[in-house]
Chains A and B, each alone.
Chain A
């Protein structure tokens, strides 16, 4: 068994036409102490230089919790030479019972020049049959998007954080969705980034005593790290979408909303060094809910005050901004992401 993946090379070079045969040999060598496991096909596509090895490392960690067949694709459509290369490897981890090694296989491809157009074919011909296909698209979508590919994708994972034009990108995604007859579930890692924060905020409004505060929210303050404005906007849009606030004004750093009652809500977004969202404060009447994320901490500090009285203090998991953790969280949670789509539709109006 080739264990080269542990040192994060792409694995054993193979001819594209012989991949399945070489994979079989790989498993035959593994003997009975190794068990191949796969719950999904996870295809990762990137055009960033060095992505092949970076993603191999990411996949190695993801497969500790999520057994899959990984298809890692590094594409350079603008390369002068036309070339395709392939590698196979396995990521093995000792199972919880501690007896067997549980292994996920990885197929890696480098597509250069015109071979970058082979993406759908590469993906189609190497899927583990009957398992869902998750396509993790790293970077921005390019127009035109290949309609062939989308009809096979079950979940499309992307990160809207760096999108320069959210609306234009979403139009491309919608085209892809239409091609796939709406079958694709959209999974935005920028949304996943907010899961723990949203949990911390949402639970404050569970008890009947604080439930009323939800309709009385009059102001939000969100501090976000440089480069994460889109994350802060998505957070504000989540409040607006779920509480049926209408967008009134998006000028300056403030977003202004109108509640169904007609009352105004202001959301102040401030860039500040620190964690992705280092502070989110909600004002509702005399009650103030504050969620803070100290630098490098993995816990959120949640507190609520009413007047001068502290009503609660709690530590909750903060989640992580590392790609492995984000992707693992996304794979673990699943779901149709209807709430995300509602929030996203508002974000597009902000633009």
Chain B
């Protein structure tokens, strides 16, 4: 909760019926209102929350963008997009009710006058919509516009709420492109908004299964006692995509898999798996524990990168039986591009719990199958009785599937029926979709509600982001070094990455889990 914000009085009529965080009345201002994110995610998410009856009526949504357009034109555009992308489609009467809170403000990001006029409009809306002077600014524009927008917001005095209300900012990833730029961005943000009012969004954290990692670990007594170096052999985290760059080459060429996925999504998942139990469920308690994990990640030297990190780029191949071009032949990709579309790494967390438990991570595009999962591989049973060297058994493996087919499975050993003593692995499998019929809300619904209610638990804190960049930068620097930079290995589209990624585990007598 913001320090500037008045403490919300407990509402006795809310007792026992709040299902999600209760959002405050506010105006949501979206910069980049005509962009893809607004159309595909933000407006459908806001509409769905409204349709669930969980948005306060004292709400206004203002789209800020360059092109001239009336409120009605903007609403019509959004209606079409929401109809297409909302998880439940739209109902006319509910849309009309929601759309009456949506407004358009034309302005250039770099034009001070546009912000001055925005300020006046917001004051009118505060009055008209009774928003309590609360403002939530969503930076859904290109990252290179963040600084301009934030500076102008501050200059126009919009970084403070009106009449004692609060002002918060949601910053979309990427949060910089390296540690230096992340620090610079954080300083810029900090000049306009204090840390407690800054919400760095990583939609992976809004996913139900990501949140369930904490529940699995800390609401079940059976796992936590086994969750350390005594019982764990290793951990694997995989984020595989069948897709290529799909029109994002402009961004991806400058980012690559390491910055696009590892620095944020994968390290966030790692934190949730590896963190110590927080003292409570408050945003800072959880984030304190997560940041300790990133701090404990062993920094990789130039030599370590050679040995423990593999980067690859897909070449021509096939996905689902259809030929696909190699990365360098994708539109807007340089023919001699050195951008990695695949990363595999062996990481170590230097703390008491994780000593000698390697974490293997891999992320890649144009892999044979899409899926994000974490697998916890337990040490084998002692080599006596059923686990003699001549007849070694598999590890027990606990798998947390983040997407798709969210769920949890546990592999264990069982005797095959019959007179012989044959033992085979069997799988206990929990699927969210099977057990819980209802579809989960979209990650953006949860995250928008949280930001509107002042709950930053599922948002990245400044130190988390900077520590993650510090870790990733060491790898980037090694790759960018002039002399004997580690190789960029090719892998055919539709394979599981370069052979060197398999070697990374084979050296330790292990192999990647089959997805």
Q: Do A and B come from one complex?
A: yes
Contact B132 A214 (CB under 8 A): no
Contact A205 B13 (CB under 8 A): yes
**Which residues of chain A (303-345) have a CB below 8 Å from chain B?**
311-317, 332-333, 335, 337-340
State which of A102, A201, A209, A316 has its C-beta within 8 Å of the C-beta of B132. A209
The complex places the Cα of A11 from the Cα of B57 at a distance, in Å, of 48
The complex places the Cα of A340 from the Cα of B16 at a distance, in Å, of 9
Contact B130 A65 (CB under 8 A): no
On chain A, the residues within 8 Å of B19 by CB distance are 333
The complex places the Cα of A200 from the Cα of B57 at a distance, in Å, of 10
> A249: CB under 8 A from chain B?
no
Chain A: CB-nearest residue to B10:
A211
Contact A96 B439 (CB under 8 A): yes
Chain A: CB-nearest residue to B16:
A339
The complex places the Cα of A339 from the Cα of B14 at a distance, in Å, of 10
Contact B93 A315 (CB under 8 A): yes
Main secondary structure of the interface of A (DSSP, over half): mixed
Size of the chain B interface, CB-CB below 8 angstroms: 35
> A37: CB under 8 A from chain B?
yes
The contact string, 1 if C-beta is below 8 Å from chain B, for chain A 208-220, is: 1101001000000
State which of A63, A100, A239, A313 has its C-beta within 8 Å of the C-beta of B57. A313
Chain B: CB-nearest residue to A319:
B53
Main secondary structure of the interface of B (DSSP, over half): loop
> B405: CB under 8 A from chain A?
yes
> B387: CB under 8 A from chain A?
no
Contact A208 B8 (CB under 8 A): yes
> A276: CB under 8 A from chain B?
no
Q: Chain B CB within 10 Å — which of A37, A195, A209, A300 has the most?
A: A37
On chain A, the residues within 8 Å of B405 by CB distance are 97
The complex places the Cα of A200 from the Cα of B435 at a distance, in Å, of 30
Chain B: CB-nearest residue to A316:
B53
Contact A200 B53 (CB under 8 A): yes
On chain A, the residues within 8 Å of B53 by CB distance are 196, 199-200, 203, 300, 314, 316-317
> A50: CB under 8 A from chain B?
no
> B6: CB under 8 A from chain A?
yes
12 contacts between A and B (CB under 8 A): A66-B437, A95-B434, A97-B405, A100-B434, A102-B434, A205-B11, A205-B13, A207-B132, A214-B11, A242-B12, A314-B97, A338-B15
Which residues of chain B have a CB within 8 Å of any CB of chain A?
6, 8-9, 11-17, 19, 22, 24-25, 51-53, 56-58, 93-94, 97, 130, 132, 404-405, 431, 433-439
Which residues of chain A have a CB within 8 Å of any CB of chain B?
35, 37, 39, 63-67, 93, 95-97, 100, 102, 195-196, 198-203, 205-209, 211, 214, 238-239, 242-243, 299-300, 302, 311-317, 332-333, 335, 337-340
Given contacts A93-B437, A202-B13, A206-B25, 20 further A-B contacts (CB under 8 A): A37-B435, A63-B437, A95-B431, A96-B437, A97-B404, A196-B53, A198-B13, A202-B11, A206-B22, A206-B24, A207-B58, A208-B6, A208-B132, A239-B13, A242-B13, A243-B12, A299-B94, A314-B97, A333-B19, A338-B15
